[in-house]
Structure 1
Amino acid sequence: MLTNASLFLDFDGTLVDLADRPDEVVADEELRALLARLNLRLDGRMAVISGRSIAQLDAILGPVAQEVALSGSHGCEHRWQGISAQPHRPPTLDQAAERIRPFAERFAGALIEEKSYGVALHYRLCPEIEKEAVALAWHVARDLELELQEGKMMIELRVPGGDKGVAVRRMMRLAPMKGTTPIFIGDDRTDENGFEAVAELGGAGIFVGKPGETGETGAQYLLESPAAVRAWLEQAAA
Structure 2
Amino acid sequence: MPVSPNLPAPALPQGPWALFLDIDGTLLEHAAHPDAVVVGDELRALLASLEARLDGALAFITGRSIAAVDNLFQPLRLRAAGLYGLEHRLARDGPVEAAGEPADIAALAQEIEAELDNADVYIERKGPILAIHTRAAPHLLRRATQLVEQALGRLPAGYRVLAGNAGVELMPLEAAKGAAIRRFMEESAFSGRRPVFLGDDTSDENGFEVVNEMDGVSVRIKPRGPTAARHALAGVEEALVWLDAANHSNAEKSAGLVAT
TM-score interval for Structure 1 and Structure 2 normalised by the shorter chain:
over 0.9
Map 1:183-222 onto structure 2 (within 5 A).
183-209=196-222, 211=223, 213=224, 215-222=225-232
State how far apart, in whole Å, the 2-side matches of 1:158 and 1:95 are. Answer: 15
The Cα of 1:236 is off from its aligned counterpart by: 1.1
Other-structure match for 2:151: 140
Percent identity of the aligned residues? 37
Other-structure match for 2:175: 162
4+ runs deviating over 6 angstroms: none
The Cα of 1:48 is off from its aligned counterpart by: 0.6
Aligned residues: 232
Q: CA RMSD in A?
A: 1.4
Map 1:63-212 onto structure 2 (within 5 A).
63-64=75-76, 66=77, 68-81=78-91, 82-105=94-117, 107-145=118-156, 146-209=159-222, 211=223
Other-structure match for 1:51: 63
The Cα of 1:161 is off from its aligned counterpart by: 1.1
The Cα of 1:103 is off from its aligned counterpart by: 2.2
Q: Kindly provide the CA deviation profile for residues 207-232 of structure 1, in whole angstroms up to 9, marking residues without a partner as x.
A: 000x4x1x310000010111111111
Q: What secondary structure, in the 3-state scheme, does the structure 1 residue paired with 2:110 have?
A: helix
Q: Which runs of 5+ in 2 are unaligned?
A: 1-12, 249-260
State how far apart, in whole Å, the 2-side matches of 1:84 and 1:113 are. Answer: 20
Q: Kindly provide the CA deviation profile for residues 54-101 of structure 1, in whole angstroms up to 9, marking residues without a partner as x.
A: 01001001011x2x2101001110002224323443212201201211
Q: Report if the CA contact (8 A) 2:86-2:175 is conserved.
A: yes
Other-structure match for 2:251: none
**Which structure has more RCO (C-alpha within 8 Å, separation ≥ 6)?**
2
Other-structure match for 2:50: 38
State how far apart, in whole Å, the 2-side matches of 1:159 and 1:28 are. Answer: 33
Q: Report if the CA contact (8 A) 2:141-2:168 is conserved.
A: no
Q: Report if the CA contact (8 A) 1:120-1:157 is conserved.
A: yes
Q: What secondary structure, in the 3-state scheme, does the structure 1 residue paired with 2:175 have?
A: coil
Instruction: Provide TM-score, normalisation by structure 1.
Output: 0.92
The amino acid across from 2:49 in the alignment is: R
The amino acid across from 1:186 in the alignment is: G
Other-structure match for 1:28: 40
State how far apart, in whole Å, the 2-side matches of 1:142 and 1:23 are. Answer: 31
State how far apart, in whole Å, the 2-side matches of 1:52 and 1:45 are. Answer: 20
State how far apart, in whole Å, the 1-side matches of 2:237 and 2:153 are. Answer: 38
The amino acid across from 1:41 in the alignment is: R
Q: Which runs of 5+ in 1 are unaligned?
A: none
